[in-house]
Structure formats: C-alpha cells, structure tokens
Amino acid sequence: MSSTGAEGEAAAYLRRPFALTSLPKRATLRATALGVMEARLNGTVVGDEVLAPGWTSYRHRLVVAEHDVTDALVLGENVLAAIVGEGWALGRLGWENKRNHYTTRPALFAELVLEYGDRTEIIGSDATFRAGTGGTRDNSIYDGETFDARLEQAGWDVAGFDDSSWEGVEVVEWPLEALTDSPAEPIRRVEILPPVEILTTPSGKTVVDFGQNLSGRVRFTVTAEAGTVITLRHAEVMTGGEIDVETLRTAKATDRFISAGGTRTWEPRFTFHGFRYVELDGWPGEVDPTTISAVVTHSDMRRTGWLETSDPLLNQLHSNAVWSMRDNFVGVPTDCPQRDERLGWTGDINAFAPTAAFLYDVRGVLRSWLQDLAVEQKATGFVPWVVPDVLSTPSSPTALWSDVAVSLPWALYREYGDRAILENSYESMTSFIRQVEGLLDGDGLWSSGFQYGDWLDPDAPDDNPAGGKTDRHLVASAYLCKTTREMADTARVLGHDQDAAEFAALAERVRAAFRREYVTEKGRVAGETVTGYSLAIAFGILDDEQRAHAGDLLARLVAKAGYRISTGFAGTPLVTDALSSTGHLEEAYLLLMETGCPSFLYPVTMGATTIWERWDSVRPDGTINPSGMTSLNHYALGAVVDWMHRTIGGLSALEPGYTHMRIAPQVGGGLTSASLRHTTVAGDVEVSWQRDGQSMTLIAMVPDGATAEVVLPSHPDGETHEVGGGTHRWTYEIPAAAGGSYDLDSTLKEIADDPAAWREFFGAFSAHFPGVPLDGNAPEAAFMTVSTMLEYVPGASDELRDDLAAALARASEGASA
C-alpha cells in the first residue's frame, strides 16, 4: 500500500488470511509497528493495551509485544489483521510542526508463532498481506481522530472477506536488531470517569465536564442518522463560560464521529488528549450523561504511595500531583499531555523523580526511558533535553536537564535498592560527568554554555522563562556538586574503586570552587535568592556554621516574600527541605500552606485538579496567562510532595529499598492528623499520627525484615526508638506552644520573629499594596512600630490600619490557641 506519511492520511488496514489444518498447542503473536497499531485475530482485538507500541527511540529500540492467542485460532481459514495509525513515528511532534521524524510510511511487524508437538511454524508480516482503508481516517496524537462509520468495511478482519480491491504491500527496511521487549508496562485504559455535569454555555454550546483534568479520550454511545457528524473539542479550562483552548497552542485536540445510522459505541484508537471539558457539536437531542464517559489512559503502573492530612487543600495538592503524574506517563514521562509538545523533557522528570518513585512503581517505565536516553546519548555524544529526541538542534550539557542521566538512576536505586539500575546506566552516567568535567573553567566552575537555570521562576519575564533571579551558572555549578557526589556514591556501590576515588575528588573540587565563587566565609550566598540558598543548603555545599547562617537568611527571604513562591524548577523541589533542615520548620509550613499567588496552594484555590506549568497559569481574574506556555498539567512544580511524604507523613529511606527507614513526622501548619502508606520493595509501610489537644498518638507499621528509627513528633524529650517489623503505637502529652501578643504598637521585628504572625501581617498589607516589599529583619525594624511605619506609607488609609490591627489580633489568637 502506498503512503506518503502526509498529514490527514487515513489509517492503514492490513490483513492476511491463512489456513490451519490442525490447531497448535500454543500460538503466540509478536507484533509492533511504525506508528501505533491495533492488532486483530479473527475479528478480535489482541491484547488490552492501547497506542501500542508506545514511543521509544525507534531506530534503536522498537518494542515488540507478545500475546498468547492460542484460543483465538480455528480450523480452516483464519485472518491476521491490524490497523496502523500515524502515532509518534509519522505524526507531527513538537512546536516546530515537523512530521515523519522516524519514517514516511506506516508499517507492521507481526509474527504468529505456531508451536506444534513436532514443529514450529511462523506466519509473518510479508508481502502476502493486503492493505486498504476503513472508517479510521485522519488520526493524530495532537489533532485528534476522525472515524467515518460509513467507510468501515464489514468483516474486513475475518474469514470470507473479499480483499481483491485492496492493494499489495511493500516490505519496509528497518534494522531488526532494534526489535526488543520492554520493562515498561503497556499503555492501557486505566479508569472510566462519568461526567459530573452537562453544561450549556452562554453561546448555546453543550459542554461535558468530567471534573478532573486527565489524559485519555472520550467513549460514547449514540443513536443517529447516517451522515450525522459529532464533533468533540477537548479543553483543560473554561473562561467566560466557554471552553478555552489557548493552553493547547496549535493542537486541535478534536475528534469526529460520522454515523452510518443506528446505534454505535465509539472511542478513538490512535490519539489521546489532555482535558477536563469536552464541547459536543452535532449530538442528536439531549445528552444522556450515562452514554458518555472519559477513558483515562496512561502507562499501567502500580500505585505505591498515599498521603492524607487534616487539611483539604493539602490533600487536593497531593491529588493534583498524582493526577499530573498519571497524565504525563503515557509511554514516556512527558511535560504535558494536551498541547503541541508532550515530549519527554529531562528536567521535569529529574525534578519530580523522588515523588514519582513514591507514588507509583516506575521501575518499568523509567528503566525503559533510561535505555532510550543511553542509546541516544551514545549515538550523538550528548544527553538530549527530550527523550526520545525529536528536537532540530543538538542539546548541550545542561544542569537539571542533562544530568538526569545521573540523578534519575540514583533516585531509583535509593527507592528500590536494585544495583542493576545503576549497572545498566553506569556508562551513561560516567560519560555525562566526564563530558561536563571537560567543560569546567580553570577554577573548577561550570561557568559557560547554555543553561535553563531556575526555569519558570515567577519573576522571570513571560517571554524569557530562563531569565530568573538566580544566576544560571550558579545553578549549574550547584547541581554539579550534587551529581558528582551521586556519581562517586554510584561507583562505590558498584565496587568501581578507582572511579569512586576519581569522582569523589571531582566532587570536592567543584564544591570548593562553588564556595570560593559564590559563598562568603559566614555563609551568605551570592545573589541573595531563595533558590541560591536552597541549592547550597540542600546539596551539602556549606559547612555547619555556614549552613545555619544560610538557613536564617533563607528564612528571612521567604518571609520577606510573604511566604509566596519565588522559585522555579531548580529551587522548588528543595526550598521546603532547606528550611526545615536548618531549623525553620514553621517557615516551611507557611510557605507550603500559603494560598496567595504565587504559591503551592493558589492553583488549588482556583479549582485546579492537576499541577500547573506556571504558578499563575490561570491568573486571579480567571484569565489564562498569555505567555504561550501555560499548561495546566505539568508535574514538575509538584515536587514539593516529596517533602510532604518525608515531613508530614514522616517516612524516608535510610538504606536503599527501605530495609532500614526513618519514621519522623514533623508536625506544623496547624495540622491535627496525617496518614501515609507506601508499598516499598521491603513491604508495606504505614504511618499515622493524630494530635488531640495536648495529646499526640503515633502509629507505625513496619514490614517484617525491615527496621525503623522512629522519632516521636513533638515529644518533649525528643524520644527516639529503634523498632523492627510489626505495628507500634505511642501516645504521650506534648507541651503547649508559646506565642506572643501583637498590636499596632508592636515592632516589625517582633512580628517578623513569629513567622505565623508575619504571614498574617504581610497578607493584610499586600492586599492594599501588592508587590511592595516589607522586611521585618532590616535594621530599622527592631525599633519601628507598625503605627510608625504607617506614617511613612503614602496613601495609608484607615481601612489599612484596621486590616493590620485585625491581622495582628488573629495572630495573637493563633499564638495562644
């Protein structure tokens, strides 16, 4: 069958009849495609996966699935068939609007292996196949699918069909050594969601709201006259009462069904969308909500992590991170599931990896992805920024993005305790580190070349998301301190002693270079940014005295920003850790639980059901951020959930694979309870705590064969226990919190010394003067009262004075509670 690989081509329908005079003892179908396929045998779809074979670095790794089809065969004539759509191999990928990254025509590889007692026969994908078309017309990952039921040829995939009008096929040359199995779970239909509401918009459109931003497609049953066209436009958000497709950019995300008459159930085969809302056009009559559903579609990973707290907003934040992960694990870990991108960006998964490994068993998907990374790195000499790589320009070595080659295998090893993960990635890891070592300047700094820096710092210009407050090469050199240490630890684990010594020396060299260039003797970090301090603290760059001082300075910066977010991809996963690990737990909780924009919880207050790409992807007035980069389904900034697991839930691994763990919840933020469950390779771990007045109860379940260091939360004596497998319970009294009393005669320093009071005060002030900084640690703050400050504020009103007084009264009440 001829094919040009052009946009809008119909899917290829392929069939091959064959006759059996006896039935085999076992029959196995091995199949894959250039494109995405649905294999069939005697009219029945083979397997339950969708979008097969998924997306890999096809010329290096083209995944072949195996299915036992013994029971599907019959004596006499049988038919092996498949539909092949364009998928990732032919369709357009990336914002550059390019197609045919891997091939110019769809192709099928199939082997039906028939095992008899005395012989094995193979029926393969050869020139005896015939090719035609059917109801599946244009089909695109980005733009959607059209199905014309009038063109579907009845019985095309079963015996007795006349295919004489179909075309012959050509054999496509492809490196057979690329054919491989995969450790990754297939992409499947994982969940079915019913509508939560059927809306009629101001313009009279019918919109189905599924209540959750998701990846997948819509399934419906409809009775309609022949020729009726039903159009489904997918969207993440509604503005002004109508669906808003701005976040899709050029992706049409539109499916069409053309009826052949009568009743039919339909679901697209060869596309997926990121959506919550679907606008229906052409539906005959009123929509019955029981006839339409959303089919959640992603890699079928096993859930392994749960957290629930006494705060509904935090629970929604956690749920949003879970859903964004699900929606972005459609074969590869992507940045977004909705727009003209959906690429395997390395920086996103690097930032989110510890969270991902807690929430789901990601060994299959991410080991497969790391194999793609390694083969493409070896072929090109660089770690691509997206894997598989479809960018038009080479990817230069870049911190947080390229160094995923090191940090992701290390994160997976820490979670699962499997040395094979490190062994399989070792060549890739060492190649990257040695490449960057060759780029260092004479002082040992990574001071040149392109860097993404603290990507999407909220203070960066909309048209320059890399232009944040923190120097890009400070970020690069800090991350190199981290990855060289991980590299040395990896070599040590694997017994490569010479490499371990080499990388340990390099780690010390780059750490010393960072300290000379960016850190004062006392611990002040150049640039005075939240990200800069967070990196220096979290990556162990500072000595103990410097670390304590840096923690204090970081806490002041966070307070000065009113506990609102001032970090991007590089700093966000680390800032709460940097605070809590330097004695500023309260500030970490205040940062986590702030609801003003930008903050972790601001999107939750705006109705988000997934993590946003930008902190203000939807602005407070309900409009979409007009930058052109406003996905509402990006998991990277949800990396704070890892801190929630370890701090609120209290669980962390002291040894890889949780053979020895630490259970140490740190109570704060007004939370009164939390429960965590994690399925580790050592077994299920459960942690729950509850505060009732001054009584605290902690319950910990440790799997048999594992041990835990348990630090009782808020215990007056800091009591610690070493326990083994089993369920353990402690109940004890905790001291009442001490607090202050504040009014307009309090000094700014007195208020700033109480982080919760400062949050109340700053919130009230910024409601009147948004963006105007207040520094409770400036020298004059020690003697300047609020009343005095107001004398110097132009336009200070009685309403401002009253609001500040009310805020300070609330702070006083909270302190005494």
Helix (H, G, I), strand (E, B) or coil at 100: coil
Residue 341 among the catalytic residues: yes
Catalytic position from the list 38, 236, 308, 341: 341
Task: Identify whether the C-beta of residue 608 lies closer than 8 Å to the C-beta of residue 491.
Answer: no
Count Cα atoms within 13 angstroms, Cβ side, for 669: 28
* Dist. CA 509–CA 442, nearest whole Å: 11
Q: Residue 224's beta-bridge partner residues?
A: 262
Q: Look up residue 399 and give its amino acid.
A: A
Other C-beta atoms closer than 10 Å to the C-beta of 744 total 14
Which residues are CB-neighbours of 115 under 8 A, at least 6 positions away?
Answer: 24, 25, 26, 27, 28
Identify whether the C-beta of residue 473 lies closer than 8 Å to the C-beta of residue 518.
no
**Residue 711 CB: number of other CB atoms within 10 A?**
17
Structure tokens at 30: 């091995």
Respond yes or no: is residue 376 known to be catalytic: no
The pairing of beta strand 292-299 with beta strand 206-224: antiparallel
C-alpha 593/C-alpha 575 separation (Å) is 14
- Exposure string of 443-465, with b = 16+ CB inside 10 Å and e = fewer, is ebbbbeeebbbbbbbbebeeeeb
Checking 612-621 for CB contacts under 8 A at 24+ apart, the result is 612/637, 613/335, 613/336, 613/456, 613/637, 614/456, 614/458, 615/456, 615/458, 615/565, 616/458, 617/247, 618/237
Type of residue at 309: T
Buried b (16+ CB within 10 A) or exposed e, 765-804: bbeeeeeeebebbeeebeebbbeebeeeeeebeeebeebb
Residue 147 has phi, psi (to 5 degrees) of -125, 120
Q: Which residues have C-beta within 8 Å of that of residue 204, sequence separation ≥ 6?
A: none
Return the number of other C-beta atoms located less than 10 Å from residue 724's C-beta. 12
15 contacts 79 by C-beta, under 8 angstroms: yes
If phi > 0 it is left, if psi is from -120 to 50 it is alpha, else beta; for residue 729 that is beta
- Residue 493 main-chain phi, psi, to 5 deg: -60, -40
Per-residue tokens: 243:
């669906």
State the catalytic residue, choosing from 38, 145, 613, 686: 613
User: How far apart (Å, rounded) are the C-alpha atoms in residues 534 and 457?
Assistant: 14
Question: Which residues have a catalytic role annotated?
Answer: 341, 613
